[in-house]
Amino acid sequence: MLVIPAIDLKDGQAVRLFKGDYNQKTVYSDKPEKLAQDFETMGAKLLHVVDLDGAKDGKCINLETIKKIKQNTSMQIELGGGIRNLETVALYLDEVGIDRVILGTAAINDPEFLKNALCTYGAERIVVGVDVKDGYVSTSGWLETSAVPYLEFIKDLEKLGVKYIVATDISKDGTLQGPNFEMYEQITKTSKINFVVSGGIKDAQNIKDAANKDYYACIVGKAYYEGRVDLKEVIACLQNG
């Protein structure tokens, strides 16, 4: 299982939100690129980066910081937040050199855009973020909730040829209460899509539990920043692929 460290960007800083609340943020670093270097030293192969400002406003707000991160690490990078048209996809994949982008709001609001992105760049480089609130898909930086049940959405994504999703239970994100394993079991029963466990990881045991279930990958954010997970040790023990 891939163990993926996370850097969430707001105003050029590495932060974490509590349950997606932009008013409840904790700043962890003014130099996100240094964090990326640290993660690479620990053995991480893939870095998860989210432009929180971009997710809310639909623009490339933290572009310069993202470029710095890319320039300071040889890890693969997946990036989400505010990517809502092919021009932005091209900017990140072709110009900045990001390895894969995560489409969230646009994937549900504009299925044709998702199809075009998949057709242009392939399923290895286009990931979909499935952000879940009370059983439904959330959009616009988690500020709005759609009327689409998350399992129905995932089945539709699989039909379109999507290979990877990042599945987040918003109520768990940033809480250190443990992930919603029940939700992930429902996804496993419903679909064969590769999903990344995201939101709520509190300790190494949570990560081991995800690995034991043979899930594709697990994102570690706040648990690392708060000193609850020895990321180097976990990666050495669990990471493959």
How far apart (Å, rounded) are the C-alpha atoms in residues 80 and 154? 18
Q: At what angle do helices 32-41 and 63-71 cross, to 10 degrees?
A: 30
**Which of these is catalytic: 51, 53, 131, 173?**
131
Beta strands in the chain (DSSP E): 2-10, 13-18, 21-29, 46-51, 76-80, 100-103, 126-133, 136-139, 144-149, 164-169, 194-198, 217-220
| CA distances to 112, 165, 166, 194 from 216, in Å | 27, 10, 10, 6
Judge contact between 22 and 173, C-beta under 8 A: no
Angle (CA) 166-170-176 rounded to 5° is 95
Tokens of residue 70, six digits: 């890319």
Helix (H/G/I), strand (E/B), else coil: 144: strand
**Cβ count near 241 (within 10 Å):** 8
| CA distances to 75, 123, 129, 219 from 99, in Å | 9, 12, 16, 17
In the residue annotation, 8 being an active-site residue is answered as yes
In the residue annotation, 11 being an active-site residue is answered as no
Nearest by Cα to 32 from 51, 60, 55, 53:
51
Residue 104 is given by DSSP the state: -
The residues carrying an active-site annotation are 8, 131
